[in-house]
Structure 1
Amino acid sequence: MASGKTQLLPCLLLACLFHRSTGFVFWTAVVEISYMDSQNETKDRICECGIFGRNAAIERAYGVVTLPRGDPKGCGPDPAYNRNASSPSWIALVKRGNCTFSEKIRAAKRLGASAVVIYNADGTGNTTSHMSHPETANTVAIMIGNWQGMEIVKLLQNGTEVNMIIEVGSPHGPWMDTYWLYFLSIAFFIVMTASIAYFVFISANRLYNLRMLRRSEKRLKSEAKNAIQRLQVRTLKRGDEETTSENLLCAVCIESYKAGDVVTILTCDHIFHKACIEPWLLEKRTCPMCKCDILKALGVEDESKDEYNHNTSQEVTVITVAGGDAMYEVPLTDTARSHHYDNSAFEGEPTRG
């Protein structure tokens, strides 16, 4: 779960950055004009020299280019255009200035223009800007340079009919810039590298914990085996209390004892069949009846920890019966270890009679 949350954060940051940056992306417009010159030859000119407005409809438009009457800037509450009634589709060509872009576009759209082309103010050359006109959505509106606009104006003023086709160009802006692409590639590489590194770290950590758990289980089984070798083992004979009493049963196999059975006596004095209790102790390491821990009772666990930590200091283990007081102390020295029960039958289990 933590891994999923960690991977989710970089994605949210990139999504937020993308949302904030899309407003800076703009589309160019391919402007194509055609007209008849003085020799009645068709002239075609095409350039990717226009820019769609921020609120414009990014789509194709075509028609006869038309200028406003009087004021070339197309301002005022009700401007008029030199429309040719025989041309159903026309494009308004107006100059920048005096009023807002929205007012120019709204006025031409109200009169039926299929698109509005605004050319830049005098002295700006062929530079353009990304105009904003929030009140005229769904209208094709582009800006072209002053020189390009004045060239079309002169043709129209000389009585030449000019047809224009506006095509959608290509997107531009920070997300389309080469440096931004490099930045995105590097950011993506960093995020992916961090995610892979985190995954490898988590996997390695889990494998390490699993390995340590297995080593711990193996060590505990080895300690249990050492503890089992110290337990007292005897063979029951006829007349022993265990063979004559019906109340004494092996708590593991729930069977009565009989003469010839090999039994193991735990530190808590509970008796079990040797073949039954030894597999149990290897896994559980406690008495099935009173839960007495044989490793703690015999001091095997503490002895193993001392060897692992290279601690040579002498310790004392108190052997207790569950629920009772301390019975006696056994110092963990070489001399003390010589007083353990010797389970010679552990390696080769005798056949039960």
Structure 2
Amino acid sequence: MSAPVEETVSAEDFAQIRAQVRRFVREEVVPREREIADTDAIPEDLRRKAAEMGLFGYALPQEYGGLGLVITQDVELAFEFGYTALAFRSLFGTNNGIAGQVLVGYGTPEQKKQWLEPMAEGRCLASFALTEPEAGSDPSGMRTTATWTGDGWSISGGKRFITNAPLADLFVTFARVKNHEAEGKIAVFLVPAGTRGLTVGPKDRKMGQEGATTADVYFDDVRVGADALISGEVETGFRAAMTVLARGRVHISALATGLAERALDESVRYSAQNLQGGVPTGDRQLVQAMLAEQQALVMACRALTRDAARHYLDGSDRRIAPSAAKLFCTESAGRAADLAVQVHGGSGYMREVAVERVYRDARLLRLYEGTSEIQKLIIGRELMRRERAAGA
């Protein structure tokens, strides 16, 4: 069993934080979803307000300026973030999640002091540079290398689909070690933007999640010092990747739940107002059946996500529970979004209608932080491992 994590924010204080986030998302972000989609960017005033609310560091320790929320509280906020354009959450998601948690869990005191405070304040935007053309959900195929030079490291290779890459101030970069006693192992390095040899490719054009900026990142003999190695130990890298990805899967489950809830709310609202033959379509039994399925999916996703978060927090299950939640909730969000379009009929296919965006946004959830297929492999392998261990 992994070590449990203690809460630092009381239930009363957290209730106020969640209420504030809920108001902000629904009253200020939701009305500007079309603007975000049309400009493919998060408006600067929304970014500034998010920073003022502490959203760039809500899951970072209080000693470094964050709010110090634990995963069970994180998912409650993610339910709210998922209710609007997912690009909004992407702006600060890596600071709190996969990039920030590497530093929180594995950084040296000096590394934490240098980077966590500006990240929490929104002055530093971090990117998580793991995915490559031949290493996506499974990092074992990684080709990017970090060669020990005697007094530092030379990093060469390329990364793909890196969130916030064109905006990033820091790249938390994974690479396979060469010319070192830990030859072939995966290590993690802190590479500041602007370091010589580091370049960012053109902004990706995606099916959905407009406003979430991703791009390729290239490393051509990028030189960093020995102090750029996370934790100061090569062996930490792969363990860090697997740990933060598991936590991230619980977070993505909550986002998917929020998105499914939005699909449900839009469906109920539309079917109550839309008339066919003078009768609201929501009075038709076949439409009610679709609404009922969406409702059941939302309730199941919320319960499963909260359960997975509790298991992660107390350390009792950081393997099966995160993957099961991510698998079920992201697939369910896709189903809820599809049903929402069906409830809307032809209107649901129109670009100006919210469920059209929800449908496209939902599709990516089944791919990043480990595809649905990878989650099945993780669950299946862990079940067999546990069975063998019980019979030993």
Q: TM-score interval w.r.t. the shorter chain? A: under 0.3
Structure 1 or 2: more helix by fraction: 2
Structure with greater contact order relative to length (CA < 8 Å, sep ≥ 6): 2
* TM-score, length basis structure 2: 0.18
Structure 1 or 2: more strand by fraction: 1
The structure number with the bigger radius of gyration is 1
